[in-house]
Every structure is written in structure tokens, then in C-alpha cells.
Structure 1
Amino acid sequence: MPIFEYETHLPFSREDVFDWYSRPGALVRLHPPFAGRVIEEPSNGLKDGSESVLGINLPSIFGTTLAAVADIAGSATPLPVRGYTKWRARHTDFRPGRGFADEMISGPAKSWRHDRSFEDDGTSMVLREKVTYELPVVGKLPSAVQKLVSRQFEAELTRIFAFRGRQSSDDLAFHQAHGRLASQLALDPHHVPGAAPVKVVAVSGATGLIGRQVCALLGGAGIEVRRMVRGSADPQAGEIAWDPDAGTLDPESLREVDAVIHLAGHPLASRFTEEHKKKVLDSRVEGTALIATTLASLESADQRGRVLISGSAIGYYGATPADRSGISGPLTEDSPAGSDFLAEVCEKWEESTAPAKNAGVRTAMIRTGIVQTPAGGALSQLLPLYTVGAGGPLGDKEWQSWISIDDIAAMIVHLVFNPEAEGPVNGVGPEPVTAKQYSKILASVMRRPSAIPVPAFGPKLVLGEQGAKEIVGADQQVSAEKAQTLGYAFRHHTLKEALEHVLGS
């Protein structure tokens, strides 16, 4: 059977790297967004018998695009639509601190075994990986065709493993900077540079695009994550029940929580009818107020220095210059709110955190920009057009303030740890681009043309005239200076870097 081998050198100790691999969320952080998704995390860490389930996309940008199209179709119809294949694997040969393997139980391959060996390499370490595999049907093909298929398959594996290497290095560096590596915690379990110890964090919107990565990053930091869920909760799984519509949240469920990251809200991308706009506004204001008042009552009775990091968006500043009273230049956290609908939503959303702040809870609001990932959002909706060579700019000189999925997740966690982080913080990359530049950069990364402008009626059909103006036609040059002043180190400074990473280019 064919064998694929790959080495990743990491400037960290073997023990720290293995420990990070063992923590909850590692698989979510390691699985590339262009290659699929994690459906079920390992049932028992890396230990023998632990099982996980992945959703595997077809290879190349075409597979990523097919999954994106399926997700878009699935959100628009009650019919089950799936653009990936399920892959169930079981861990075996667990060697604490040294290695483990996984074998495919069911999936698209005929057979698959993936061995990992963690080895010392001076002051750093090397991860040696060996995949022994067999593809279906291929063995019956002519020898030359078999070699071609294996070459293409292993090129895809190289793409995936290269992503994992970059992701491992970036996450470990992030945790090291915040004193969260195993070796640092062993010296002092409360060691978080310049911050109070954070052990337990509750997260609303934990299954969302950003929330999933935030939870995984927290798990990699050795933090206990308690997911806030609607309906019945499983306390054994660390879940917290809440119902923002009914205004119910048991204060006892948050008593042991050091910080709450609040990301839940009704999905924005839909036609801007009065009913939809009401759901967008009410879900954000009522949910935030419920969490803020609950934390306020807890902090008033027991001053522990709790933290609230609440979602917001750069829509706060208004979609266009006409919506912000003639203010020009980069928008900072001190810029006033705009005058359109999304600005009103963001302003009331942030104001709803006031009870927590007034009670002494350190409160910060993350004004998120255009998140870049093929797993959802704006980029996933553009992929089909660009993949077939029909992509083009959604405008010309309008400013688009983007941020990679990894940077927005890491920035949110950074705000949890940083005792100086309060008030609004722009969750955007340091180098915004114009709509025309965005199109050219995306086309370059995907190796496609970008000559066909998207017709104005397209977004209007989906979002309505107001939604198209405030989401697709937004013109917002937003500054990332405050985040940098707070010590956040960006992983992806340029849009090109971000797109190459999330698309595996």
C-alpha cells in the first residue's frame, strides 16, 4: 500500500506540543476549513478507542466550493443538503508524550492508518507523520493512472498537513505568549502574564462560525469551556441552559464562571424585512441584557473580577460615509455611531452590556469585521463565482475591513486574558482593502480571473435593497490600532496571507 510521510518542526518542547494535541479543541483547530469540518471531536482525547467524525470535502478548490454551495443551499431549504463525506476514525497505539495513531472505521478510503511520532529535536521538536492508505478502485487502474492518482492525492495531503503545521505553530505561540503552555502552567497554575487567573469560560453562540473556533482555542489554552445552549442542557458535557427569548438564565450556572464570551444572535444574512430586522435587533439586545444583568448580580454579591466579552460589529459606524455625518478617515473606537439600521443594532447591542460594567465586571465589545473563511460568511458565498471564473468586484473604492477566522477567534480570547481590555475593540485586520483590491487578491490566490463585476441586482435579490446597501455595499475603513495597543499580535497582516491560509493555496 502507498505510504505518505511528512515532518513538522516546531520551536516548542515535545511535552508542550503533545499536551496541546491532547487538549479539547485541538482537532477543530487542526482541521483546515478548506478540507471540511469536525462533526464530532474525539470522545476520549487521544487515548485508545477514542473516536471522532469528520466531514471530508472533495480535493482541491472545487471540493471546498461544492461544500460551500451545499451549505448555502441547505440554509435556504429544509431538505438535507451535504457537500462532504463522513469519515469516522478511532485512535490507537496511544503512547503518552510520544505518539498515537488513528485508523479509519468508515469513510471514502479503502483503508487508512495515520501514525504520529513526537520526537525531541534539540531545544525544539519534530512531529513525524506516516499515512498508510489505499484508495478504492484505484488498484484496478493501469499503473500510470495509479501513480497519477496517488500523486494528486498526496498533493492534497501535503496541503492539509502544511496548514496543520502553520496552525500548530501559531496556536502554540499564542498560548506561550499568554502563559498557557503545559510547562508554564506546571510552574504556576495561575500563571497568566499580567492577568487574573481564568479557569472557566462560558460561551454563547458556541456552535457558530466564530464560536466554534473560540471554544477550541480556549480548550487549547487549558480553559474549561461551558457552552450556553437553548433548551435542555447536559451538565455532564459542561453545558449551560438559557433562553434569551423567555429571559431565563439561572445565575447559579454562571457562579463559577470567570468570563463569559457572548456571540449569539439571530443570523444577519437574510432579506431585510421588518420581521427579520426585529429578530436581529431583539436577539442581540435581549440576550446581551440577560447575560449582563446576571453577571452584575453575581459580581455585586461576590466581587471576583469577572469578565464579559460581547459581540458587536463594524456596522456600528454606519455602512457608508453618508451614514456617519461626514466623518472621514480610518474609523476608531472613539468614532460615533452611524445612522442606519445596523448602526442602531450595534449601538443598542453594546449599551445592553451596561449592567455588567456598572457592577464591576470588566466588559469589552468586539466590533467584528468581514470574517474570512470558506466555512461560511462572505468568502464562502463568493467561492462559487470565482471557482468557475465568473468572479469580480462587489464595488470599486469602497473600503472592506476584513479579518481572518483565526485572528478574530484569537483576538476574542486575548481580550479575555488582558486586564486592560475594556470598551469597544475593532475586530479587523491591520490592512483593510478596497472592494476592487479584494477581488484582485482573491482571484490571484485562487488563480482565477476577476473581470466580471457582480451586478447590483444580485445582492438585492437576496438581501433586499437595504440589506444589500448595509452589508454588501458597506464602505468602512476601520482601524486595528487599539487591538495592537492591547498587545494583540496579528497572525495575518495582509488579506493575501489570510486567504492563502484558509484556502490552502
Structure 2
Amino acid sequence: MPIFEYETHLPFSREDVFDWYSRPGALVRLHPPFAGRVIEEPSNGLQDGSESVLGINLPSLFGTTLAGLVDMAGSASSLPMRGYTKWRSRHTDFQAGRGFSDEMVSGPAKSWRHDRSFQDDGTSMVLREKVTYELPLVDRLPASVQKRVAHQFEAELNRIFAYRARQSSDDLAFHQAHGRLASQQTLDPSHVPDAAPVKVVAVSGASGLIGRQVCALLGGAGIEVRRMVRGSAADQQAGEIAWDPSAGRLDPEALREADAVIHLAGHPLASRFTEEHKKKVLDSRVEGTALIAQTLASLESADQRGRVLISGSAIGYYGATPEDRPIRSAILTEDSPAGTDFLAEVCQKWEQAAAPAQKVGVRTAMIRTGIVQTPAGGALSQLLPLYTIGAGGPLGDKEWQSWISIDDIAGLIVHLVLNPHAQGPVNGVGPEPVTAKQYSKTLASVMRRPSAIPVPSFGPKFVLGEQGAKEIVGADQQVSGVKAQSLGYAFRHHTLQEALEHVLGS
């Protein structure tokens, strides 16, 4: 049977790396967004018999694009459609601190076994991985074709494993900077980085695009995550918190043990801007934030523990275009005034709803999120089909687009939780915004496709309506990420090209 081998050298101790692999969320952090999704995390960590389920895309960017198209079609039609294949695996041969394996139980391969060995390498460590596999039907092909298939398949494996190596290194460095590695937890507090003593975090919107990565990153930091789920307490699983923001229901006792709450829930923005849709967008954000803020305020008033609230917001706060702003400054900072259009009104009321918590001493920060870059959803996933077939092009010309990678927005949110000095609004954008034309050129370069066909203006208007197209697609916002850096956040992806190459595996 064919064998694929890969080595990853990491400047951390073997024990710290193995411990991180053992923590909840590791699989979510390691599985590339271009390769599919994690449907079920390991049922019992790395222990023998623990099972997980992945959704595997077809190889290459075509497979990533196809999966996204099928998912969007399914969402639009409410039909049970999916663009991926389920892959169930089971852990075996667990050796604490040394290694583990997994074998495919069901999936697209004929057979699959993945062995991992964690070994010391001086002051660092090396992860040696070996995959023994068989592909279906390949043995019936001519030898020359078998060779080409094996070459293409292992090229895809190299792409996936290179992503995992970068992600491992970056996540471990993030946790080390915040004193969250296993070895640091045993040190005297005076010898670890300045970080808030956070043990339990409640998260709303935990199943969303950003929320899943935030929860996984928190798990990798050794923090207990309690997901806030709509419904009654009787319907919740262990570790979940029942709430219903539209009905004003949230039991304060459910949040009593939480050191921090990360609030990301809200009605999806991308739809036609009808009056009904706009009401849902506004109400969902204001009602949910107010309910959490008031609950935390009552808890903190009775028990001063220095709780934390990190609440969502967006760069729509500043207004979509210079015409929508009371002051036409070139660069938008957290001190810039709110804009005058619909999304600016939403963001302003959204942030104001957090005031009750702030007034009683809950450290409160609002993350004004930019255009998140990931093929798993959002703007990039909607552009990929056009670029894949060579029909991509700019959504404008000189309009500024303030982007951020999915890993940096998740990292920044967790950083705000752990940094005791972080409060007030913080722009969740990368250090180097680009124009619409530069964005198109960069994406085309990363995908090795042309970008000569401008997207006609009627396209976004058809999907979002005239107002939605103007405030989302036609936005012109040059937003500064300086405050995030001044708070000590180290961006992983400083340039758009770095971000796109990582999330697209290019």
C-alpha cells in the first residue's frame, strides 16, 4: 500500500505540543477550511476508541468551490444538499505524550491509517506522521495512470499537512504568549505573561463562522467553553447554557461561574435589505447584547469578580462611504464618530446595549469586525466560484476594503478576553487594508486566475437590494488596526496575500 510521510519541527517541548493536541478544539484548528469541515469533534479526546467525523471536500480549489456552491444552493432551497463526503475515523494506539493513530471507519478511501509520533529534538520537538492508504478503484487503472493519481493525491496531502504545520506553530506561539501552555500553568504566576485569570468562558454564536474558531482557540488555551444555545434548559447538553434573547430568558445562575462572555450571536446580515430583514438584524443584536449585559451587571454587582464581556460589532459603525460620515477622515480609528446609514445605526445601538455591564465594572470590549477571509463562508466563499472559472473581477476600484483573516479575528477576540487592559471598541481588521482593485488582483494571483471582468453592479443589487449592495459590497472603509497592536496583539497575517495563501492552501 502507498505510504505518505511528513515531518513538522516545532520550537516547543514535546509535552506541550502533545497536550495541545489533546485539548478540545485541536481538530477544528487543524482541519483546513479549504479541505472541508469538522462535523463532530473527537468523542473522547485522543483516547483509544474516540471517534470524529469530518466533511471532506474534493481535492483542489475546485473542490472547495463546489462544496460552497452546493451548500449555498441547499440553504437557499432548504433541501438536504451537501458538497462534501463524510469521513468517520477512530483513534487507536494512544501513548500518553508520545503518539496516537487513527483509522478510517467509513469514508471515501478504500483504507486509511494515520500514525503520529511525538519525539524530542533537543530543546524542540518533531512530529513524525505516516499515512498508509489505499484509494478506491485505482488498482484497476493502467500503471501510468495510477502513478499520476498517486502524485496528485499526495500533492493534496502535502497542501493539507503544510497548513496543519503552520497552524500548529501559530497556535502554540499564541498560547505561549498568553501563558497558556501546559508547562506554563505550573509556573509561579509572576513568571508568566500578563493575562487575566480566565478559566470558564461562555460563548454565544458558538456554531457560527467565527464562533467555532473562537471556541476551538479557547479550548486550546485550556479554557472551559460553555456554549450559549437557544431553547430551554431541559433541551441542553452538558456544558451548554440555555437562553432566548427574543423572549428575554437567561438564567443568571447559568453565567455565574463564567469569568467572561463572548457574544457573537446575531441574525445573518447577507440578505435583501427589506424592512423585515433590517428589523431582525437590529433586534437580534440589541436584544441579545442587552440581555447578556444586564445579566452580567446583576452578577457583578452582587459579586465583584472582574468579569469580562467581549461583544460583537462591525466596521459598519463608521458608515459605508465618506458620504455617510459626519467627518470625512481618510483613516478610521476607534475614536472616529459613528456613520449615518443603517448599519452604522445598528452598530451604534449594538455597542450601547453593552453599557449596563460596563457601568458596574465588567471589563467590556466591542470588536468591530472587518471583512473576514475564509473559504468556509462570508465574502470570500461567494467570490471563489467566479474566480475558479476565470470570471472573477473587482467589486469596485479605489474603495477601501478592511479585511482580517479568520485566524486573526478569532485570535484577537481571545486576546481581548485574556488581556486585562483591553476595553472599549477595538477594530478587528488586519494591518494593511487594500482597495477593491488590489483585493481582486491579489485573490486572482493566489488562485492563479485572471481578474479582468468587473462584477456588474446589478449582481449585488439583485441579491442584497440597492441599500444592502451599497452598505456591504460597495463599502469604502479604510480602518486602522493600530489599537489591536497597541494592546499587544501579534497579527499572524499582515498582508492580504499571506492570509489568502494560508486559508486557500496555495
Q: TM-score, normalised by structure 2?
A: 0.99
Opposite residue 222 of structure 2, the aligned amino acid is: G
Deviating 4+ runs (over 6 angstroms): none
1:159 Cα offset (Å): 0.2
Which amino acid counterpart does residue 167 of structure 2 have in structure 1?
A: Q
Q: Which residue does 1:217 correspond to in 2?
A: 217
Query: How far off is 1:186 after superposition?
Result: 2.0
The residue type equivalent to 2:467 in the other structure is Q
Instruction: Give the Cα separation in 1 of the matches to 2:390 and 2:23.
Output: 41
1:183 to partner: Cα distance: 0.3
Secondary structure of 2:247's partner? coil
Tell me the secondary structure at the aligned position of residue 241 of structure 2: strand
The separation in 2 between residues aligned to 1:175 and 1:69, in whole angstroms, is: 35
- The reply on whether 1:121 has 2:115 as its aligned counterpart is no
- Report if aligned partners of 2:198, 2:260 keep a CA contact under 8 Å in 1: yes
- Counterpart of 2:316, as a letter, is G
Residue 466 of structure 1 pairs with residue 467 of structure 2: yes
Matched, 1:367 2:377: no
Match of 1:431, as an amino acid?
E
Letter in 2 for 1:6: Y
1:122-167 CA-partner distances (Å, limit 9, x unpaired): 0000000000000000011111111110000000000000000000
The residue number in structure 2 matching 1:164 is: 164
CA-CA distance at 1:71 after TM superposition: 2.0
Q: Counterpart of 2:148 in structure 1: which amino acid?
A: L
Counting only pairs closer than 5 Å after superposition, residues 170-249 of structure 1 correspond to structure 2 as 170-188=170-188, 193-233=193-233, 237-249=238-250
CA distance in 2, matches of 1:445, 1:217: 27
The residue that corresponds to 1:50 in the other structure is 50
Q: Which residue type is aligned with residue 377 of structure 1?
A: G
CA shift for structure 1 position 489: 0.2
Aligned to 2:273: 272
Q: 1:188 to 1:52 in 2, by over 3 A?
A: farther
Report the Cα offset of residue 236 of structure 1: 5.3
Residue 137 of structure 1 aligns with an amino acid whose one-letter code is L
CA distance in 2, matches of 1:326, 1:362: 29
Q: Which amino acid aligns with 1:162?
A: A
Query: Per-residue deviation at 1:326?
Result: 4.1
Matches within 5 A, 1:3-402: 3-188=3-188, 193-233=193-233, 237-402=238-403
Alignment length (residue pairs):
505
Query: Partner amino acid for 1:380?
Result: S
Asked whether the 8 Å contact 2:270–2:464 carries over to 1, the reply is yes
One-letter amino acid of the structure 2 residue matched with residue 410 of structure 1: G
Tell me the amino acid that sits aligned with residue 476 of structure 1: Q
Distance of 2:188 and 2:131 partners within structure 1 = 38
The AA in structure 2 aligned to 1:133 is Y
Could you tell me which amino acid in structure 2 is paired with residue 322 of structure 1? E
Say if 1:274 and 1:191 are closer, same or farther in 2 by CA, change over 3 A: farther
Query: What's the offset of the Cα at 1:431?
Result: 0.1
CA shift, 1:325, in A, is: 2.2
**Matches of 1:45 and 1:322 in 2, distance apart?**
53
Distance in 2 (alpha carbons) for counterparts of 1:61 and 1:432: 25
**Counterpart-to-counterpart distance in 1, 2:80 and 2:392:** 28
Distance, in Å, in 2 between the alignment partners of 1:196 and 1:320 is: 38
Range with greater deviation from structure 2 (249-258 or 76-85):
76-85
Contact 2:229-2:236 at 8 Å conserved across structures: no
For the residue of structure 1 that corresponds to 2:344, the secondary structure is helix
**Offset at residue 189 of structure 1 (A):** 7.7
Q: CA deviation at 1:327?
A: 1.5
Deviation of 1:193 (Å): 2.6
- Percent identity among equivalent residues? 87
2: CA distance, partners of 1:192 / 1:457: 55
Match status 1:420 vs 2:421: yes
Structure 1 unmatched ranges of 5 or more: none
More off after superposition, 466-475 vs 71-80 = 71-80
Describe the SS at the equivalent of 2:119. strand
Distance in 1 between the 2:139 and 2:100 partners?
Answer: 28
- How far the C-alpha of 1:235 sits from its partner, in A, is 5.9
Once the two structures are TM-superposed, the CA of residue 277 in structure 1 deviates from its matched residue by: 0.1
Residues 190 and 197 in structure 1, CA contact (< 8 A), matched pair in contact too? no
- Quick check: 1:453 aligned with 2:454? yes
Give the distance between the partners of 2:398 and 2:275, measured in 1 at CA: 30
Answer yes or no: is the 8 Å Cα contact 1:426–1:482 preserved in 2: yes
What secondary structure, in the 3-state scheme, does the structure 2 residue paired with 1:421 have?
A: coil
